[in-house]
Structure 1
Amino acid sequence: MSTSAETWAILLAAGSGTRLASATGGERKQFLSLDGAPLYWRSARTLAAAPRVRGLVFVFPPAELAAREQELAELFQRQPLGLPWRAVPGGERRQDSVRLGLGALPRECGTVLVHDTARPFATAALIRRVLDALDAGAGGVVPGLAVTDTIKLVDEAGGVRETLRRSELRAVQTPQGFARALLCLAHERAEAEGWEVTDDASMIERLAAEGLASPVIVVDGEEGNVKITTPGDLERLRPQRTEEPVTGWGYDVHRYRLHENESPARPMVLGGEPIPNAPEVLAHSDGDVLLHALTDAILGCCAGGDIGDHFPDTDAAHEGRSSAIFVKEAQCLARERGVRIVSADLTIIAQVPRLGPHKERIRANIERLLELEPGRVNVKATTEEKLGFTGAKKGIKAVACVSALRTWKA
């Protein structure tokens, strides 16, 4: 395959889905809802995220083409995928739908992926494996899984004719990859000679047997790349709750009061702990630089914006306010969004005052504030070796890293 040729994907969404009709109320499986969009959209998003895919062709039931085109236009407006797309009517058989999809490909397309949209969980890594094998010279590439059950070949009466060797068997999946010209040739032959096949690789296998194509290669498939086929498979489409780690980072700075006429000046407080004999800080609230950084880090864990969005220093209601309130309100927002804080690592940077004697009390205070068990919060203090504004004793800064677990509806 020429690496300069464009790769397009044909997404097959024209099937009747008769085996699931009773379980879905007559709705075709490729149009069932997943994450607030039709099932086929998940495959479109995955294929569009593959760097080498340059366009998408959707194949829909002929009677629904206009409605599905409108639906696609709305989906692309809501979530642009950054690729050109086309929609065409499908045919009576799967191979007819592929042939019609091939006819909609642009001239620049040299490589094509064919994917069943009833397999919504294929990954970008799988797409890359298929295309890499195609680059290496395969006539066609299919993902496949080793067969774990013993497979027997039987006759029409159910009699066993042969026990097949599992080591030589693979259960194949999509997307399957092909050179466009070769796949077009295969479909022309199939149409002219009346071939009946269940996948496109079967056509290329026939051409390879005649010496007209390189062999079809099987690459590793994915256990999760299942095809929605039976009523039991529908459970995979229902919202699931998954928990994953997230990290938030916060940074804040306050100037020291260096002149009598500077205001508003606040006694230094760090992590809710008063620091005696320390420079005063200029701040609208209580000026707790460490809790301000912590607030931003918590908001980072839940994509909640920053401290200025929620507690602007132009709001008189926050004048002199305890920064512990900011932390608790940010924590409430994080909880509403499914975030559970598990640890915090905090660093204070200042030339003065000396903070070593205060670190343990600050740490314990923040553990109480975050409702964490002992050992979940770490507080560090350092200088910048008399460099910068902190080294010149003009101010103080703090950074905070919060680790959390966020529960999502998948």
Structure 2
Amino acid sequence: MDKSNQDVSVWCIVSLASIPLVMTLGNSMLIPVLPILERKVDITSFQSSMIITSYSVAAIFLIPVAGYLSDRFGRKLVILPSLILALIGGLIAGFASWKMADPYTWIIIGRILQGIGAAGAMPIVLPLVGDLYKDDDEKTSSCLGIIETSNTFGKVLSPIIGSAIAAFIWFLPFFAISVFSLVSIALIFFFVKVSKEKDDPVKLKEFVENTLKTFKEHWKWLFTVFILGAFVMLLLFSVLFYLSEILEKKHDIEGIKKGFVLAIPLLLLCIASFITGRKIKGDLPGMKKIMIFSLIGMSASVVFTGFVSKRLILLLIVTSIMGIAIGAILPVLDAVITENIEKQERGTISSFYSSARFIGVAAGPPIMSLVMKDYLNISYIGAGILGLIMLFIVFRFFKAEEIQAKH
């Protein structure tokens, strides 16, 4: 069993990290392209928003199914077909945009296929890392930090790459997603070696009973991690949406230049994720402290976002503090889930966690679009209060001693 730890090569880690990178690019890269797409395909802004939403909604509902399948049939056996679906989805959307006079329906079909691919690939990475490192919490935490950093790095690159590729041909980003998926397929196929030792597949009834038992036994800290995951991604994507709008309307920053400005808080988020992942090393009391300080940082900074929106430097400072806080908490949430759930249920439980995160991703931009005009400062103050409620939940339900005792 210990041999598995030695078999985890650098290329294996790079291969695993390529999945969140590709899937993040697959969604976020299209955001700066949407205004061009509206003009070229002759659609409304609401219709263009469905190109992002269709991807996220498909992922939300299918992620738990993928988690179950990965627990039953194996992680790699679920990841590879999922990446192939993401590749096909990109080709459908790209060819439709290129060859069809009215491509919108086929673009949506392609995006739904990509969402299904994301559901079957991205969440399975977390339990796969746990499988590869077995009971080595320190190495698991470190690798999860790299995975979360890769996810965040995708967010940093997305607006820049999307704008740059679309400058050549407007529908090229769809094909780029397929190319990125193909690279990830090759990396996973050749470099990720899963254990040949397999337990007998658990029957569905027994599997459901075991999963319910896990939720019943660990509901306090699972509830905490799930709701924190949703809140953090809601905050991140609503603020990013607001930043994207405000940089153009109030500061006349557009195109690739806007992408680079957006990348500043995301880069700090990325660095914070990497450092935290390297430092936590399975230390649950330490993880709880990081949660507490991160929530305080998020709550304090988000309140001022609207008030400093007219002063670019102050706006970037406030959002960067928020970025660092979010970057610190994400690998902690990943590690808590991966290190404290038994292998048999790990894929399913981590998939529910990923679904919670996708809910935040899907909800953030539309909520911000509704409140931005008339209730901006009130909404940010409300977000700060919500952060303090999250802090109370951590103090009330996340007990490191109880988790360690039950694990």
**TM-score, length basis structure 2:** 0.22
Richer in helix (by share): 2
For the pair shown, the structure with the greater C-alpha radius of gyration is 1
